């Protein structure tokens, strides 16, 4: 095989898109021998040495060009055989390695075909960097999608970050570049060096990297993410059988970096956090934690919502093995793990996804579709098969590799509407002239279908702030397919009501009753999330009116109302003990408040008791989305700001009467209708002295009288403490 002048130049100028055709060992054109070529800019001497067949010849290679192109030929061999390169540098140091250009591609035609269709569900096992052994040779296979690049090389510590040493081959029209490099293993730093579509040289992090350097560094790290061991098989099996709509679900939302810290400057690692977080969440009685985005992000003030490494847990808190340890520890404690997932947009960092190969690859070229106005980020091109595959496979990746129990999808509204946060003329209508992003709609349906069918029992939750219909209904009914939708309307109305001075609440009781008019349109989750304690909004406690006693009484009433209202629950960390200042992602929660008198400790105990009661009473979760799981007893007493309702399970074997008195005026002998006779035990009183209240109550319970009130056959005269929620359960 004789190189032409053009072939020679393509190698030494690293413009060759199929280097395996010229480098490595090949038969001579006339079949009379073999030739070996290697491009090794830092070598002084190179020799090809047989590996398995010692009778095959050793082939010394001569320098063909000062750029480091070596070639050697022999007629003592008539076929290609396995060989090592023995490389001697100018100082006389020798290295022996299998030639990277002697291996077949690690991706097959089927892999590339499915990827091009957008249907390779495990593409993260094919693209990216994967330690493996081929022909008994340990190394790492690299593959990256960059269809418009002129050349792609793997660079890293193992080749002095020199893009001339390991150029990749382009696998036909797929746009995928591939190379297996012997001797590169777990923990190696690497990047891709691209000559982009415009001919500019750039370094890029691997979009499919499983591990990344700690920001502000941005190299990718070769990582074997199958190394760790799991002990949560029982949890996963039970999850498969659990019906999430008829099971208790209370979510504790956590920002890993600011829940607790070792010092002002250092957060706990995943591994260090595992025990304390599991113990605390179990003690407070939550069923799940939801972690603000854990995927790698360069810009810390984004709280993880500007992702640069979609397949890598952020290295700020440790390695992927450490993150696995955290999830496993929570599962062993009986706690589910939901993560925030951000397929709506990505940042413009020039080493990450933005214009990856010099073109708008992951995003749209037209900024009217590809640029997010509010956040300065870029919008994924959901109509491109490979981009859709990147995202759907990413969702499956977190469920597969890290046993995640749920994905809360951020900013769904920004995905659904082409005119989201855009003025007239700043957006492009869809093919029918509408504002709906039909490609994003199809992507969300596919994502939900795949997650729910491949990982039964796993939850998907939409943060969707508009009236888009059927968000939490299956795609076969025309829905988007989410398990749950955040009830943003309930959150806004409820917080607006509770922030009012009680003297004005009688004019706004609609804020608390309106949510039941649309409750059955979706499977709602009631959120009091991190978004409500930032950007000048203050803490939940800080939004409550009055002095300390009234603020805490109001906050206890708010949380009780949330827990008793139909729908699943979410509370951001700190809300359970009355964090008094706005959340600071750079600090930690004000745990010292628990030493400042009875109110904070009382609230913390109240939330724990509220969760315990919630778990014990099927009335509070079994029929969340059934029409007969809730009914108002009376919601018309605006003058006194009193509401009452009943929660019950499907067969009505469990019933709970809930009464809210949302003024600071105690109500004595206030008669409320009851659906059945007998003794009703008081099972919760937010005014208990245990919680910092005034300890006014019903001495353990009341007995129903044969006296009709509120269209109920029975009733009882209740004592309603000030700014309180009391709950009763029938006995017998």
Do 188 and 202 form a contact (C-beta atoms < 8 A)? Answer: no
Whether 673 and 710 have beta carbons less than 8 Å apart is answered as yes
CB of 277 closer than 8 Å to CB of 259: yes
Q: At what angle are helices 270-284 and 598-616 packed, to 10 degrees?
A: 80
CA distance 258 to 724: 31
Q: How far apart are CA 710 and CA 670, in angstroms?
A: 12
Whether the Cβ atoms of residue 553 and residue 584 lie closer than 8 Å to each other: no
Nearest partner of 403 among 609, 647, 563, 237, judged by Cα: 237
Separation CA 495–CA 478 (nearest Å): 32
Angle (CA) 258 212 358, round 5°: 120
Tokens of 120: 């390779």
Cα distance between residue 73 and residue 536, in whole Å: 73
Main-chain phi, psi angles of 487, to 5 degrees: -90, 85
Three-state DSSP state, 483: coil
* Strands in 410-523 per DSSP E: 459-462, 484-486
The bridge status of strand 59-65 relative to strand 69-74 is antiparallel
DSSP-derived secondary structure for 105-145: -SS-HHHHHHHHHT--TTGGGTSEEEEEEETTEEEEEEEEE
Residue whose pair of structure tokens reads 């003024």 in the numeric block: 663
Going by C-alpha positions, the residue among 687, 685, 625, 615 that lies closest to residue 654 is 615
Say how far apart CA 546 and CA 101 lie, in whole Å: 74
Q: How far, in Å, CA of 234 to CA of 332, rounded?
A: 9
C-beta atoms surrounding 242 within 10 Å: 16
- Residue 563 tokens read as 């827990």
With tokens 């030639």, the residue in question is: 99
List 511's β-bridge partners, or say none.
none
The secondary structure of residue 212, as a DSSP letter, is B
Q: Most distant CA pair in the chain: distance in Å?
A: 109
Tell me which residues are annotated as active site: 410, 463
Q: Break the chain down into helix, strand, coil percent, rounded to 5.
A: 30, 25, 45
Token look-up 């504790």 returns 252
3-class state of residue 69 by DSSP: strand
Q: Is the dihedral of CA 431, 435, 440, 442 positive or negative?
A: negative
The 10 Å Cβ neighbour count of residue 579 is: 22
Which residue in this structure is represented by tokens 């390991």?
A: 166
């Amino acid at each position: 095989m004789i190189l032409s002048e053009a072939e020679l130049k393509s190698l030494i100028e690293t413009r060759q898109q199929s280097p395996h055709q010229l480098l490595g060992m090949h038969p001579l054109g006339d079949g009379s021998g073999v030739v070996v070529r290697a491009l090794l800019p830092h070598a002084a001497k190179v020799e090809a040495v047989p590996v398995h067949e010692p009778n095959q010849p050793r082939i010394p290679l001569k320098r063909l060009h000062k750029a480091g192109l070596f070639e050697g030929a022999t007629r003592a061999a008539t076929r290609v055989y396995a060989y090592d390169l023995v490389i001697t540098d100018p100082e006389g140091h020798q290295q022996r390695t299998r030639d990277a250009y002697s291996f077949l591609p690690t991706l097959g035609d089927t892999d590339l075909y499915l990827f091009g269709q957008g249907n390779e569900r495990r593409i993260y096992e094919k693209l990216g960097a994967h330690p493996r052994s081929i022909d008994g040779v340990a190394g790492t296979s690299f593959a990256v999608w960059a269809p418009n690049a002129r050349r792609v090389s793997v660079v890293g510590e193992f080749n002095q970050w020199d893009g001339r040493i390991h150029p990749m081959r382009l696998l036909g029209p797929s746009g995928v570049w591939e190379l297996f490099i012997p001797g590169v293993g777990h923990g190696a730093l690497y990047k891709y060096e691209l000559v982009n579509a415009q001919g500019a040289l750039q370094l890029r992090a691997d979009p499919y990297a499983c591990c990344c350097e700690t920001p502000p560094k941005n190299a990718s790290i070769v990582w074997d993410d199958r190394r760790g061991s799991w002990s949560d098989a029982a949890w996963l099996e039970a999850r498969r059988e659990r019906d999430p709509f008829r099971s208790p679900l209370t979510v504790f939302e956590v920002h890993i970096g600011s829940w607790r810290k070792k010092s002002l400057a250092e957060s706990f690692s995943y591994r260090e956090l595992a025990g304390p977080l599991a113990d605390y969440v179990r003690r407070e009685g939550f069923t799940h934690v939801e972690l603000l985005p854990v995927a790698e992000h360069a810009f810390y003030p984004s709280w993880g919502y500007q992702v640069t490494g979609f397949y890598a847990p952020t290295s700020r808190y440790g390695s992927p093995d450490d993150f696995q340890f955290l999830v496993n520890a929570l599962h062993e404690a009986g706690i589910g793990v939901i993560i925030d997932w951000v397929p709506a947009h990505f940042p413009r960092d020039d080493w990450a996804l933005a214009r990856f190969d010099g073109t708008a690859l992951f995003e749209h070229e037209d900024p009217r579709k590809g640029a997010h106005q509010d956040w300065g980020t870029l919008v994924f091109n959901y109509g491109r098969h490979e981009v859709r595959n990147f995202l759907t496979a990413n969702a499956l990746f977190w469920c597969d590799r890290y046993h995640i129990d749920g994905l809360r999808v951020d900013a769904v509204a920004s995905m659904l509407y082409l005119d989201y946060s855009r003025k007239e003329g700043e957006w492009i209508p869809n093919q029918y002239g509408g504002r709906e992003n039909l490609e994003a709609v199809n992507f969300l349906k596919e994502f939900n279908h795949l997650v729910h069918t491949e990982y039964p029992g796993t939850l998907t939750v939409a943060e969707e702030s508009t009236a888009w219909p059927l968000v939490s209904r299956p795609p076969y009914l025309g829905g988007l397919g989410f398990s749950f939708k955040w009830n943003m309307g309930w959150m806004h109305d409820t917080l607006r009501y509770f922030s009012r001075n009680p003297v004005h609440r009688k004019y706004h009781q609609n804020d608390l009753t309106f949510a039941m008019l649309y409750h059955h349109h979706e499977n709602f989750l009631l959120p009091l999330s991190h978004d409500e304690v930032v950007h000048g909004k203050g803490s939940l406690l800080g939004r409550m009116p009055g002095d300390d006693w009234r603020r805490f009484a109001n906050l206890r009433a708010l949380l009780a109302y949330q827990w008793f209202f139909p729908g699943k629950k979410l509370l951001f960390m700190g809300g359970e003990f009355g964090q008094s200042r706005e959340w600071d992602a750079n600090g930690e929660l004000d745990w010292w408040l628990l030493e400042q008198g009875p109110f904070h400790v009382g609230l913390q105990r109240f939330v724990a008791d509220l969760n315990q009661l919630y778990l014990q009473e099927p009335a509070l979760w079994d029929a969340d989305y059934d029409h007969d799981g809730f009914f108002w007893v009376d919601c018309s007493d605006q003058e006194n700001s009193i509401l009452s309702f009943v929660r019950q399970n499907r067969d009505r074997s469990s019933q709970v009467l809930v009464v809210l008195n949302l003024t600071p005026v105690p109500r004595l002998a206030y008669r409320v209708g009851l659906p059945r006779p007998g003794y009703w035990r008081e099972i919760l009183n937010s005014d208990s002295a245990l919680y910092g209240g005034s300890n006014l109550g019903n001495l353990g319970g009341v007995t129903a009288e044969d006296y009709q009130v509120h269209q109920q056959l029975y009733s009882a005269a209740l004592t309603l403490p000030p700014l309180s929620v009391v709950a009763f359960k029938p006995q017998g």
